Amino acid sequence: MSLVLGTVLLLAATLIASACSNTQAQPDLIGKINSVQQVLQGDKPGLILVNTLGDKTADKYVLTVTTDTLIQRQAGEALGPASFSDLRVGQDIKVWLTGPVRESYPAQADAKTIVIVGSSGFAMGHLVP
């Protein structure tokens, strides 16, 4: 009985420690925006075409951006809010996906989180108006 209780407590401690971790999972894609298409249909503000940098699955993705997609701008370690209208051709981005990647060319997927990489729009870690 005490062995089972000890195992359960060890498992619970491990789960709590991993949940409290500050490490963020690696992005599913890292690439450059090739085109931005505003759609404004239902919960979809638009689509972006991304050329990936050495992705093992595909070299191009059409990403659906929804109202649930978190869009941020990164400068160094600082993250600030951004929106679909901040996405521009030529920007480097990191993307986390939600749901399956649809088999096509270019591959199609839904973006859960998009981080615009670079310092434009930031001053001392804060967005410049």
1 domain-assigned: no
pLDDT in tens, 62-99: 999 999 999 999 988 899 999 999 999 999 999 999 99
Identify the CATH number of the domain in which residue 77 sits.
Answer: 2.40.50
16 domain-assigned: no
Which is more confident, 57 or 11? Answer: 57
14 domain-assigned: no
**What integer pLDDT is reported at residue 127 of this predicted model?**
41
> Residue 82 is part of which domain span?
25-127
77 domain-assigned: yes
* Confidence class for position 124, pLDDT limits 50, 70, 90: very low
The domain tally of the chain equals 1
Distance of CA 47 to CAs 33, 63, 66, 86, Å? 11, 6, 9, 13
Triad 69, 70, 75: Cα angle to 5°: 140
**What integer pLDDT is reported at residue 41 of this predicted model?**
83
Within 10 Å of residue 2's Cβ, how many Cβ atoms?
Answer: 6
53 domain-assigned: yes
Classify residue 41 by its DSSP letter: E
